[in-house]
Chains A and B, each alone.
Chain A
């Protein structure tokens, strides 16, 4: 308790006096500056150092006063306090040239206090501070074999890292572990004054980070015992410098490779484009979406050449359309066409049927002339049209109208039919029944009186009975295409049979109207077509198409139902369709049913043809009387 109290008081006193008191330590453990500044005139020891913790040396200085520099005048005595009865002994080995006293291993005891003193002839110079234990005066030798290796260079090429490695001092017995040494590395630029110091560490290598390229660096190392104070001397410096690596070597080939690669790719692309490899072209240059209707040159869509377009859409040119279609875009197989035809009506549900049926509602005003082929013109034209299957219609309005207005007298049609049937070419229109020649006009408007459950549409119910005869006759003829006589018989037979759906179907492939043949055949028992009472409609007739003749039947845009008799003529309805222009350029809404033979003559009434499909301003000009 008293001891602790006294220590506390001592602590308080000493803390206050701490500033001006010199640092405690052995006399020669102080810095050399302090030592020299103390300016002792007496002989004194300058330093005692052990390098390997096995031996140690002491150096003395004679001082100034007594001129004792000559050797032999001073002697060194030491006291090793390893026993209470220890005595002063003289230095075991003198090295007078250095004024050094060397204590070898036999005379060295670690962890044992030593005191050294200088003795003159009669004077003993002893400083109590010159007492030490050997482990406290150990200053290891500097490391040897300094070497450096470049670790890496920063991506910017401005700085780099270096790994410095060395060997422990040979005098220190590190392998046994008698001495455990830690190293302190210092480096600086060649002409700098301040050293950069790194952390002490016991390993024999260290990395220096962040050195700058182009500058020369100097590195040296010193060592110290672990958990002790005194450092050894610095090692010899090593110098190294890393100059800038010529980056052109690495970047020039890179840029060359890059440019050549780009040029090569471009050349390949050009080759592909030029050679028109379709597949590659598809990949490289995907087609620009433009309206592409199959069989129609997109050029037609540009300049408003609608008459040609209409012609084509309505199947003009007969079965030239598919051929026509193949001509275009033949080299562009990836083009997706807008399919204009609806061949796949079969098998659809009722709604589709219904829709398709509604599209087929075309009441064709027809006129019947007995024994008169009023439509000789059209007949001829139709025939001409039929014969002109493969010919693209010249932009002839007549041709166009002829195609659009397939009013064909039965007789002529019959006559034409037979050869057609014989030849196998059968214009679609020529399904008419033989019988009174009827001038069948296409009429877009037809009054729907009823819709049959089967999906058929009943047009103009008023004229049903008459239609039946025709229908039956036409039906028979359509189905079989027999001779007239047979047809008649068949007609008579079939008149009693189910009413047939008569409808007008526009055939041309690619047109917006469904194919007649398919429509007719797929449609369930068609209702009795009843053209509207108010309309000059041509009763829709079942299309007669032979399956074989299907491909050839795109000769006329419409399948005109054959108007049965003349009684179909009905009073004018709310609206009507301009059927034709007479020679006087007047509009004929209701071409007279009973025409004089003169009228039955083949006419070319259509100086100004009437397109049923579209009326363009161009054609409108033709219409005006």
Chain B
């Protein structure tokens, strides 16, 4: 009787475990899909629906808003735990070398290609620093799990947003709205910025402060860009 019981239990486990795995996969994949909500299909992918440029812009703008929100939350949490040093404002972010329009008028005045390029530079410049930041947070267990999840989400968002803006740029180039002068998308400057050792010297708080500022920049630039390219009322 006992062996039969055992085998039945094992059989049960055999049946249940793939189910469990499937459930876990489903949950995980749903979470990933949520995070990838604003991702854009590549041309080579099949099964993607055609998205209009306005729709693409809306997606990336929504994504950037969310990214900025998370960066703000993390920054606020850091301010609770850390006493920022003086003159923190005057510290240099590693992205300070990237020329960015400083105001609304400036952003409306520069060329669209330039604006797109600035956005892409910024996003590229933050890919590695955020990744390392997340690694630091996870390794040292400095913060609660919520902050750790946010840092991970933030780093992934930067990655996804960069891809999204690249898709938008490609579509704009395809539609002839902007010229093809983007080319390498200013990767040289961005690579310099990302490779500079400055960001490695930044402490976590400074990094968060700088990223919060840059995410706000990205958000505003995308809005201005959309208003310039996709005509809407009020633009």
Shortest Cβ distance from B62 into chain A, in angstroms? 11
9 tightest Cβ-Cβ pairs between the two chains A and B: A175-B234, A177-B223, A109-B102, A227-B72, A113-B89, A131-B89, A227-B69, A24-B84, A176-B227
- In the bound complex, residues from chain B placing their C-beta under 8 Å from that of A173 are 104
- Does B204 lie at the interface of the complex (its beta carbon under 8 Å from any beta carbon of A)? yes
Shortest Cβ distance from B74 into chain A, in angstroms? 11
Shortest Cβ distance from A325 into chain B, in angstroms? 82
- Does A178 lie at the interface of the complex (its beta carbon under 8 Å from any beta carbon of B)? yes
- In the bound complex, residues from chain B placing their C-beta under 8 Å from that of A15 are 81
B235 touches A178 (CB 8 A): no
- Does B162 lie at the interface of the complex (its beta carbon under 8 Å from any beta carbon of A)? no
Pick the most buried of B81, B89, B227: most chain A CB atoms within 10 A of its CB. B89
Chain A, range 8-39, C-beta contacts under 8 Å to B? 8, 10-11, 14-15, 17-18, 21, 24
B103 touches A4 (CB 8 A): no
- In the bound complex, residues from chain A placing their C-beta under 8 Å from that of B69 are 226-227
Q: How many residues of A contact B (CB 8 A)?
A: 38
- What is the chain B residue whose CB lies nearest that of A107? B103
- Does B68 lie at the interface of the complex (its beta carbon under 8 Å from any beta carbon of A)? yes
A53 touches B79 (CB 8 A): no
Given A81-B90, A131-B89, A226-B65, A175:B235 Cβ within 8 A? yes
Chain A, range 97-117, C-beta contacts under 8 Å to B? 105, 108-113, 115
Chain A, range 173-189, C-beta contacts under 8 Å to B? 173, 175-178, 180
- Does B83 lie at the interface of the complex (its beta carbon under 8 Å from any beta carbon of A)? yes
Bound together, the chains give a CA A82 to CA B102 distance in angstroms of: 9
- Does B140 lie at the interface of the complex (its beta carbon under 8 Å from any beta carbon of A)? yes
Given A111-B216, A111-B217, A105:B90 Cβ within 8 A? no
The A interface, classified by DSSP as helix, strand, loop or mixed, is loop
B203 touches A7 (CB 8 A): yes
Bound together, the chains give a CA A135 to CA B65 distance in angstroms of: 15
Pick the most buried of A53, A113, A132: most chain B CB atoms within 10 A of its CB. A113
Contact partner, B79, options A17, A24, A132, Cβ 8 Å: A24
Known A14-B83, A177-B224; further 8 A-B contacts with Cβ < 8 A: A3-B203, A10-B82, A14-B81, A21-B83, A24-B83, A54-B105, A113-B89, A135-B216
List 9 A-B pairs, Cβ < 8 Å: A3-B201, A54-B103, A82-B102, A111-B217, A135-B216, A175-B235, A176-B224, A178-B224, A227-B216
- Does A254 lie at the interface of the complex (its beta carbon under 8 Å from any beta carbon of B)? no
Given A11-B142, A176-B235, A177-B227, A53:B104 Cβ within 8 A? yes
- Does B188 lie at the interface of the complex (its beta carbon under 8 Å from any beta carbon of A)? no
Q: CB-defined interface of B74-108 with A at 8 Å, one 1/0 digit per residue? A: 00000101111011011000000000101111000
B89 touches A132 (CB 8 A): yes
Bound together, the chains give a CA A11 to CA B203 distance in angstroms of: 12
Q: CB-defined interface of A124-145 with B at 8 Å, one 1/0 digit per residue? A: 0000100111010000000000
A228 touches B72 (CB 8 A): yes
- What is the chain A residue whose CB lies nearest that of B226? A177
Bound together, the chains give a CA A81 to CA B72 distance in angstroms of: 23
Bound together, the chains give a CA A329 to CA B219 distance in angstroms of: 97
Shortest Cβ distance from A597 into chain B, in angstroms? 112
Contact partner, B86, options A10, A113, A128, Cβ 8 Å: A128
- What is the chain B residue whose CB lies nearest that of A229? B76
Chain B, range 175-227, C-beta contacts under 8 Å to A? 201, 203-204, 213, 216-217, 219-220, 223-224, 226-227
Task: Report the interface size class on chain B.
Answer: 35 or more
Bound together, the chains give a CA A98 to CA B89 distance in angstroms of: 28
B residues in contact (CB < 8 Å) with A:
61, 65, 68-69, 72, 79, 81-84, 86-87, 89-90, 100, 102-105, 136, 140, 142, 201, 203-204, 213, 216-217, 219-220, 223-224, 226-227, 232-235
B89 touches A176 (CB 8 A): no
Pick the most buried of B103, B140, B217, B224: most chain A CB atoms within 10 A of its CB. B103
- What is the chain A residue whose CB lies nearest that of B61? A177
A112 touches B102 (CB 8 A): yes
- What is the chain A residue whose CB lies nearest that of B106? A109
A178 touches B68 (CB 8 A): no
Contact partner, A128, options B87, B140, B203, Cβ 8 Å: B87
- What is the chain B residue whose CB lies nearest that of A131? B89
Contact partner, A111, options B87, B100, B136, Cβ 8 Å: B100
B140 touches A109 (CB 8 A): no
B235 touches A4 (CB 8 A): no
B68 touches A227 (CB 8 A): yes
B220 touches A178 (CB 8 A): yes
- In the bound complex, residues from chain A placing their C-beta under 8 Å from that of B105 are 54, 105
- In the bound complex, residues from chain B placing their C-beta under 8 Å from that of A54 are 103-105
Contact partner, B90, options A8, A17, A131, A176, Cβ 8 Å: A131
